[in-house]
Amino acid sequence: MLNPTVVSHTTVRRSNRTPVAAPRTSTRCSVCAMRHLCMPQGLTLDDLPKLEALICSARSVRRGEAVYRAGDAFDNLYVARSGSLKTVMAHRDGREQVTGLRLAGDPLGIDGISTGFHTCSAVALEDSSVCIIPYSALKHLCRETGAMQDRLHRLMSEQLIRESSQMMVLGSLSADERVAAFLLDVSERNGQRGYSHAEFNLRMTREDMGSYLGMTLETVSRTLSRFQKRGLIDAQGKLIRIIDLEGLRHL
Amino acid sequence: MLNPTVVSHTTVRRSNRTPVAAPRTSTRCSVCAMRHLCMPQGLTLDDLPKLEALICSARSVRRGEAVYRAGDAFDNLYVARSGSLKTVMAHRDGREQVTGLRLAGDPLGIDGISTGFHTCSAVALEDSSVCIIPYSALKHLCRETGAMQDRLHRLMSEQLIRESSQMMVLGSLSADERVAAFLLDVSERNGQRGYSHAEFNLRMTREDMGSYLGMTLETVSRTLSRFQKRGLIDAQGKLIRIIDLEGLRHL
DNA sequence: CGTGGCGTTGATAGTGTTCAAAATTGGTGG
DNA sequence: CCACCAATTTTGAACACTATCAACGCCACG
């Protein structure tokens, strides 16, 4: 289960307190990170060198910084490498909504393919890093390597399913159910990455959560407090421990 | 503007009244329909024969019938050819939510790529037809033809943007704003297909609309009535005429 | 040791839901 | 072609849930 190549959350947290001079400019992505995060399953050994040539760099992003902003020209796809980010979309009247939470291994920037410009922004929730994948090179590789093509298609399709699910959360669930669904989603994704299902550091603010879940920050806060009183979770600010997973599932 | 190859809505409506014996089994998709709906822009003439071989059939779907259902094995992508369909996702407790409205030219089934099974259902809102595109053959073609690869990627990315936008509608807008946004969206998409921006036959029920917009059918009905009283629209059941487009845009 | 961002909690108001009933529509079969 | 019946739509009234406004506490940071 545990994936030792993924940068641990604790490491990231520590680096927030004592900010080691992280390379701000592009750095070579380690093959090990690539194997597990950027390119994943299904490639033969023959394909590895091609991929190495493709994913040529990584980029550090400070908390609050954007990997790309809505309106930016689209050239690269990204894959979250460490840390976490949110995607944000803006209405014409200025209202903003958080449309996604991206953890290590999640793709970023697919929205730019259709028009050549990004329609949402990707902002780091903590000091993070992303792999940079030049789209033109990726396209080329996908035409050579069926496994890579499959991988890309699956990534896009997964993203689509994730957004559909979130549409259902927003359209059909009550406030309690939304918060519970969100906590369970983060719990599961944390587990998939080899971390604890039960305890995690949610770097979103209550306002971000509210925006993502279609409710106000006050309602998020109240809901979490109520969950805590009921013995479902233990929340100390951003640090959240799930006590009664089944209880959350049943509402 | 007007695209003469698209099957007109009135034709479809008439066929509802006097159901001409439509071929229920697979029929060869006309090249003309393919050119404009299934495969579109950016292919060279060399690519046409390849595409013809690929999109080998169409399928008629009666109102209420499903092109595919959640849980079905994924083999084909589809493109709406005439009529309109809704995509529906189900919660484990049985609650259903409409996640999309697909008009002629819109793709269907992309959600199946990631797991090999469809996660939502596609149900015809009126007697409709869809082009069938075997996914394995499409993948193969995409590796031969860059234009086809681009087209597929853009289609998926567009879908992603559409869903993000809907997330924002569900998460940030009031009931009035949601209904207005929906009407404007349908109006625009109708216009893009060569039909009237101002008048269209919305085959969704008030319940479908409510589900899609995250509100009850009663609220949808009330909102439409209020819009009518304010002189923004003229709604006679499913037939909707937009009177004050700017008024709708400004809320 | 302020200061500002973030989180919690309370009181009140508003928006949309729920329940109910009547009106209308449209598809089906005679 | 018409009549009927079920599905859909509309409208009303009471209620529930969540938003809003406001005050306060906490912590990290300069």
pLDDT tens digits along A5-57? 444 333 333 333 333 333 344 444 444 344 444 554 555 556 665 566 666 68
Which whole-number Å values give the CA distances from A34 to A55, A65, A81, in the listed order?
A: 8, 23, 9
Check B170 against A171: CB less than 8 A apart: yes
**What CATH number does the domain containing B153 carry?**
2.60.120.10
pLDDT at B38: 54
- The whole-number Å distance from B218's CA to D12's C1' is 11
Q: Report the domain count for chain B.
A: 2
pLDDT computed for residue B251 by the predictor: 87
Instruction: Test A167 with B163 for CB contact under 8 angstroms.
Output: yes
Between chains, do A157 and B110 touch, taking CB under 8 Å as contact? yes
Shortest Cα distance from A52 to chain B (angstroms)? 21
Nucleotide nearest to A174 (CA to C1'): D17
- The residue of chain A with its CA nearest to that of B119 is A161
Question: What is the model's pLDDT at position A16?
Answer: 36
- Chosen domain end from B126, B145, B168: B168
Neighbours of A150 (CB within 10 A): 16
**Same domain assignment for residues B38 and B160:** yes
User: Residue A52 has what pLDDT?
Assistant: 61
* Pair B194, B245 in one domain: yes
The answer to whether position A18 is within a domain reads: no
Q: Do B137 and B179 reside in the same domain of the chain?
A: no
Report residues 92-121 of B contacting strand D, contact meaning Cβ closer than 7 Å.
none
B113 within some domain? yes
Per residue in A161-192, pLDDT (tens digit) is: 999 999 999 999 999 999 999 999 999 999 99
Per-residue confidence of chain B (251 residues) as pLDDT tens digits? Answer: 434 334 333 333 333 333 333 333 344 444 434 444 455 445 555 556 556 666 668 899 999 999 999 999 999 999 999 999 999 999 988 899 999 999 999 999 999 999 999 999 999 999 999 999 999 999 999 998 898 899 999 999 999 999 999 999 999 999 999 999 999 999 999 999 999 999 999 999 999 999 999 999 999 999 999 999 999 999 999 999 999 999 999 98
Number of H helices, E strands in chain B: 9, 11
CB within 8 A of A51, min separation 6: which ones?
A: A34, A38, A39, A43, A141, A148
Q: Which domain holds residue B189?
A: 173-250
Residue B117 sits in the same domain as residue B81: yes
Q: What is the pLDDT of residue B250?
A: 93
Of the candidates B57, B58, B99, B104, the residue with the CA atom closest to the CA atom of residue B84: B104
B2 in a structural domain: no
- What is the pLDDT, as a whole number, of residue B72? 97
| Residues B139 and B194 placed together within one structural domain of the fold | no
- Contact yes or no for A143 and B149 at CB 8 A: yes
Residue A231 burial (10 A CB sphere; 0-12, 13-18, 19+): exposed
How much is the pTM? 0.86
